[in-house]
Structure 1
């Protein structure tokens, strides 16, 4: 079996690794002439790091990143600590893998190196302009046509593959929020001589300030040598603009009445871009024939659950595993497939059916994630008043693990996201599908 993956981002590379681990031929087509990931810090929750553990990459992840020890929520106005949630080994104990913070570039490099080591072919400067879903093939801007048994569209929010699957353009819609993203060196922050900032820098923690219509996130990356700051606020970009250089004065003014400690962090920003935050309502379909979508191509989301990249990586691991099971059971003449089934169905029909199974395995989970991020947005951005006070009261007793959660509800919700082994579940789903043939 040969699989073409359109897009060399985190989800696409995870898919490439999963496919190569199943001995599937893989070609990754990336439009950039140099493959490099943009952005700053990224959180990898346990459901994402579990995939990395299964890939054998967790030690590399922890070498380049750090295991989160605490998540602190603070009041926007004065920095008052609302809740410090213990993470660390409690997270690993409950969910089987740690919660990791890492620079996005480092995460991407780990996946890229592993995909190449396993034999995935990477083609740079390969811009896909059209995809045939009848006999799976991609058409490149230079006129080349490349055929495969399966095409996976991992080409992000402005996906060409999505248009091919749906038969018409379907762009993500603005959520009303945008984000400023910035990084600092430890030296920059130490030069401020601020006791509160020095205390923040001593902790391997994710710190969030919650305020009306806005919230911010701060955490260390690269072993505490750098720090990541993300500031979310109402969107003021034009409708047709997804990203532009940010105005430093505008950004500082947006947080002028916030915690003085946060204001000092913001004052360190020397250059910044702002991104429009978008998402998709549930798509009618993720697959058409032997073409399927993954990651931001089918479920871009607000970054308010730290799950966007994790869901894309899960997609890649699941579709790779399902295609591997299909190849072993039915398409490999030396395999253990059921000959009567292989005789009744063509390879293309079986492949399309397994991609439809992939969609059924993933769609409800990723839809809940999109909806959950919207719910978190409402909870984080509550205006001053009684409801905000009540939120802060509940937050003071909430936790991610059973050990730290006095509300029960918070940890129950987290277990539905963080505690599920999606690869094991998709294997069971494959066996049930196989039994139904």
Structure 2
């Protein structure tokens, strides 16, 4: 079961209200129609089929193509100034321009989204296995590490592998703890890493920032794939295969 970050089912599953907590940041979301851009410098940038990342003290921005290159989506993360209880608000373009003064001028209509997080759950399934939590309802991922969709896909791969072994309702009792063991600690570590990644992004100018930039430069060298996070999270885990092995050994 997954009903997202603001899950009501999660509260019932855990037996108490567990609302998400603010991170201290918010996200401006910007969508540009590429065919409406006339500035050649901006057009060259947004037309690239690549992930563009801008990082700086206390803020960062990410941009990438969607809809087969028709649109350019940007998410700009800044300190949270939304009133308490407000999750989403129409953005102010002038305000955004002021925040990113001196950065690349790729700004259009915007919306402000408060960034919230939720602590890891102690359990992801009932003992009977008839109810299993997955995706943002039990491990919402912040955008600092771009692992939300990836983690949810892993959930699906593990569940798919395990459910392929089920021939009766009684079999669910066996797969529930396997699912928990495979997913709980992994997503917990990734959630923790998102905050570490945020801190790396938002370093003020100085020696640590210079060292970070050298490290990041290596990560974009296709010959080395030197960034440890790339190897740890993105390429070294076969969720489906691990689920198969865990079931056979369990």
Fold-level match, TM-score > 0.5? yes
Q: Secondary structure of 2:53's partner? A: strand
Match of 1:234 in 2: 79
Alignment match, 1:391: 212
Deviations 1:397-428 (A, max 9, x none): 23476x234xx4x2x43222122110010011
Partner of 2:247: 430
Q: Which residue of 2 aligns with 1:322?
A: 162
Normalized against structure 2, the TM-score is what? Answer: 0.91
Partner of residue 351 from structure 1, selected from 172, 177, 182: 172
Indicate the SS of the match to 2:219: coil
1:31-46 matches, cutoff 5 A: none
TM-aligned CA deviation for residue 432 of structure 1: 1.2
Counterpart CA distance in 2 for 1:239 and 1:293 is 28
Partner of 2:194: 373
Counterpart contact for 2:34–2:43, Cα < 8 Å:
no
In structure 1, the residue matched to 2:6 is: 158
Q: Is 2:220 the partner of 1:404?
A: no
Q: Distance in 1 between matches of 2:164 and 2:218?
A: 44
Q: TM-score, normalised by structure 1?
A: 0.54
Give the conservation status (yes or no) of the 8 Å contact 1:172–1:300: no
The one of 96, 112, 131 equivalent to 1:291 is 131
Cα distance in 2 between the residues matched to 1:222 and 1:158: 27
- Residue in 2 that maps onto 1:175: 23
Q: 1:400 to 1:430 in 2, by over 3 A?
A: farther
Q: How far did residue 202 of structure 1 move?
A: 4.2
Task: Please say if 1:253 is aligned against 2:98.
Answer: yes
Give the match for residue 338 of structure 1.
none
Q: Which runs of 5+ in 2 are unaligned?
A: none
Structure 1's unaligned 5+ residue stretches are: 1-152, 332-346
Q: CA deviation at 1:359?
A: 1.2
Aligned length: 247
Contact map agreement 2:5 2:118 (CA 8 A) in 1: no
In structure 2, how many angstroms separate the alpha carbons of the residues matched to 1:369 and 1:236?
A: 26
Q: Is the 8 A contact 1:279 1:370 kept in 2?
A: no
Match of 2:115, SS state, is strand
- Look up the match of 2:146: 306
Native 8 Å contact 1:165 1:285 kept in 2:
no
Over aligned residues, Cα RMSD in angstroms?
1.8
| CA distance 1:375–1:318, change in 2 (3 Å) | same
- Structure 1 residue 431, shift from structure 2 partner: 0.9
How far, CA to CA, are the matches of 1:418 and 1:307 in structure 2? 9
**1:374 positional shift:** 1.0
Structure 2 distance, partners of 1:217, 1:239, is 26
Matched, 1:221 2:66: yes
Q: Does residue 227 of structure 2 align to residue 382 of structure 1?
A: no
Bigger Rg over Cα = 1
Correspondence for 2:120: 282
CA distance in 1 between partners of 2:174 and 2:89 (Å): 42
Contact 2:26–2:79 (Cα < 8 Å) also in 1: yes
Distance 1:418 1:388 in 2: 24
